[in-house]
Amino acid sequence: MTISADFDQGAFVRALLDPELPPPNELETPGGFPPERRFAVYRNNVCVGLVDALAERFPICLQLVGDEFFRAMAQCYVRECLPRTPMLFEYGDAFATFVSEFEPARELPYLPDVARLEYAVGAAYHAVDAAPLPLDLIRALPLDRLESATAALHPSTQVVASAYPIVSIWRRHMSDDEMTPVELDHGEEALVVRSELAISVSTLPSGGSAFVDALRHGRTFGDAVNAATSVAADFKLTDCLRELFLTGAFVAVSVAH
């Protein structure tokens, strides 16, 4: 199957996404055979490949809804959202939003945030590497000047805040232990960091994601605390810093003189 010089890329994409549409007129096949069958095979291969990529990227979501449901949902996503880059590991950035609007999945309100966590894990895995701040340098930081300090975060650092216990759900399905139900009556804020090639998924105290986001945007520790307490009055700074330090989320801290 070849494409003629006056190829209409828009028509090709529309036909690729909608099995009810015929193949574009510009397609040519060896020997003049009708292109419908070859295009149908190509369309199917593209769809299957993208659905497989989503199943690999969101394995916990697949476990939660089952293979048949997940693949049907993923096919609907593929028809709406084709990859924007040749790197398939980036595919699925809008999947969580799609899941939140997918009517058959409404009975699992935590599913979109689990998808966000899984995408964050993938993004952390493929992020560029950096050396985390050594613990001895962390211990030497002048705490009395930390309020006006700024920090550089490890490029892999991701946070996901949810009204549901997404870290507990993720861990439960990553474990080989016998599956037991997770209580859904509380939220969790996930911290994802890939330090020294190992992915760490842990829980930040309430307000922790706002704290990390503020630091990511170059704000001081004092400003970050204010951002955290604006969403969680009982924000526990010590617990948050301990988790960030232990996971290697900091690569540098700049203290004003």
Q: Could you tell me the pLDDT band of residue 144, with boundaries at 50, 70 and 90?
A: confident
Given a cut of 60, whether residue 1 has pLDDT beyond it is: no
Least confident of 51-65, 80-94, 173-187, 190-204: 173-187
C-alpha 128/C-alpha 195 separation (Å) is 11
Given a cut of 80, whether residue 36 has pLDDT beyond it is: no
Going by C-alpha positions, the residue among 193, 213, 27, 64 that lies closest to residue 123 is 193
CB 99 within 8 A of CB 115: yes
Which DSSP letter does residue 248 get? Answer: T
Going by C-alpha positions, the residue among 4, 44, 41 that lies closest to residue 24 is 4
Task: Please enumerate in sequence order all residues whose Cβ is within 8 A of that of 100, keeping only pairs 6 or more positions apart, or say none.
Answer: 112
C-alpha 205/C-alpha 225 separation (Å) is 12
Q: What angle do CA 73, 75, 80 make, to 5 degrees?
A: 100
Given a cut of 70, whether residue 16 has pLDDT beyond it is: no
C-alpha 3/C-alpha 162 separation (Å) is 47
**Tokens at residue 111, please?**
């599913």
C-alpha 19/C-alpha 21 separation (Å) is 5
Residue 48 three-state SS: helix
Strand partners, 192: 158, 201
Q: What is the pLDDT of residue 6?
A: 47
At 162, the amino acid letter reads S
Given a cut of 90, whether residue 245 has pLDDT beyond it is: yes
Given a cut of 60, whether residue 51 has pLDDT beyond it is: yes
